[in-house]
Amino acid sequence: MSIITETAKKRLGSRRRAEKRFKLYSRLAILVAISFLIFFLYDMIRTGYPAFTQAELLVEVSYSEESMEIGQLAVDEEMERLVSRGFLRIIPMRMQADPALLGVTRDEWVLAVAEVDQYLKGKPNRLREDERETVQRLQAEGRVKMAFNTGFFVNGDSKLPEMAGVWAALVGSAYVLLLTLAFSFPVGVLTAVYLEEFAPDNRLTQIVEVNINNLAAIPSILYGLLGLAIFINFFHVPRSSALVGGLTLALMTMPVIIISTRAALRSVPGSIREAAYGIGATPWQVVWHHTLPLALPGVLTGTI
């Protein structure tokens, strides 16, 4: 009896030590995961925050008839190579909007070219030696500053790096998501309601269900090729249109919405349907007034 007790104690001690090791390994795994997360966030912030500042130069801008026509004579030749062409292009528009500027010469903070910005941030650049000396001289004179990059949030894409922004991408993404929701949500939910509540269990519905499950597992690249072949090549929808992206993402999202909606409908207790039928409700009234509202949280979870 004592031998069995000692053996049991040894086994119990071994299990407790194993449990402690398991807890230790779990905590170490959590610490490693948190460490990687902190490192990735730090690296993203470290490499991304310079984009929120942009180099500006204090230069003498002349609003003359020559600059009204071509915009290139608004600053002297030495500064022309350092000032963004995007600023020079808006000189004629400024003078058209305010004719009183004609003949005015004043100092203004203007946007520098991307190479100057990269040079000031210690990044690789293609400035010539004389241009670097000019930038250094301007720094010593206090005519160079790093300002908040508002253009990054309000400008669209541009051939000039210093003029490029994310506004067009943000608006395009919002349009695509809204179109995706508008197409996929009603069609996916109505399809799931029909298959779960009204469709007969026959060969056709079984084939449809199998294809829906298969479509949910298809890689997204194939949906992209499908959108290219159908919406662009066949229907000739403009290539840069948000409609193409919205329709393609709607096709990709719809199987997931259908599957999750059917699962949410299936989770509603059958007693609710029976009670509704018992008081004389039609099948559509049962679904619209009872089943679908109770399944809505699961439907929205699958949609999101």
| Helix segments in 55-202, DSSP class H | 65-69, 77-80, 85-97, 114-120, 129-140, 151-154, 167-193
State residue 69's pLDDT score: 66
- pLDDT interval class at 3 (50, 70, 90): low
**What distance lies between CA 212 and its chain's CA centroid?**
27
Instruction: Indicate if 147 and 212 belong to the same structural domain.
Output: no
DSSP string, 204-240: HHHHHHHHHHHHTTS-HHHHHHHHIIIIIIIS---TT
End of a domain among 138, 165, 192? 165
CA distance 183 to 248: 10
State residue 208's pLDDT score: 87
Instruction: Indicate if 208 and 247 belong to the same structural domain.
Output: yes
Which residues, 6+ apart, have CB-to-CB distance to 91 below 8 Å? 61, 63, 67, 68, 71, 74
- pLDDT interval class at 44 (50, 70, 90): very high
Q: What is the pLDDT of residues 71-121, one digit of tens each?
A: 556 677 778 888 888 888 888 888 888 888 888 888 889 999 999 999 999
- pLDDT interval class at 1 (50, 70, 90): very low
Q: What is the pLDDT of residues 173-207, one digit of tens each?
A: 999 999 999 999 999 999 999 988 888 888 888 88
State residue 70's pLDDT score: 59
Instruction: Indicate if 65 and 154 belong to the same structural domain.
Output: yes
- Residue 238, domain extent: 168-303
**Bridge partners (DSSP) listed for residue 63:** 104
Instruction: Indicate if 71 and 111 belong to the same structural domain.
Output: yes
Q: Which of 195, 223, 193 is nearest to 207 (CA)?
A: 195
Instruction: Indicate if 201 and 84 belong to the same structural domain.
Output: no
CA distance 287 to 8: 59
Instruction: Indicate if 43 and 99 belong to the same structural domain.
Output: no
Q: Is the model more confident about 140 or about 73?
A: 140
Instruction: Indicate if 155 and 236 belong to the same structural domain.
Output: no
Average pLDDT over residues 147-159: 89
Q: Report phi then psi at 241, rounded to 5.
A: -75, 140
Which residues, 6+ apart, have CB-to-CB distance to 164 below 8 Å? 151, 152, 155, 156, 157, 158
Instruction: Indicate if 10 and 131 belong to the same structural domain.
Output: no
Instruction: Indicate if 112 and 213 belong to the same structural domain.
Output: no
What's the total number of domains in the chain? 3
Q: What is the pLDDT of residues 210-229, one digit of tens each?
A: 888 888 888 888 888 888 88
State residue 184's pLDDT score: 92
Q: What is the pLDDT of residues 236-261, one digit of tens each?
A: 888 878 899 999 999 999 999 999 99
Instruction: Indicate if 212 and 290 belong to the same structural domain.
Output: yes
Instruction: Indicate if 175 and 151 belong to the same structural domain.
Output: no
Q: What is the pLDDT of residues 269-299, one digit of tens each?
A: 888 888 988 888 888 888 888 888 888 888 8
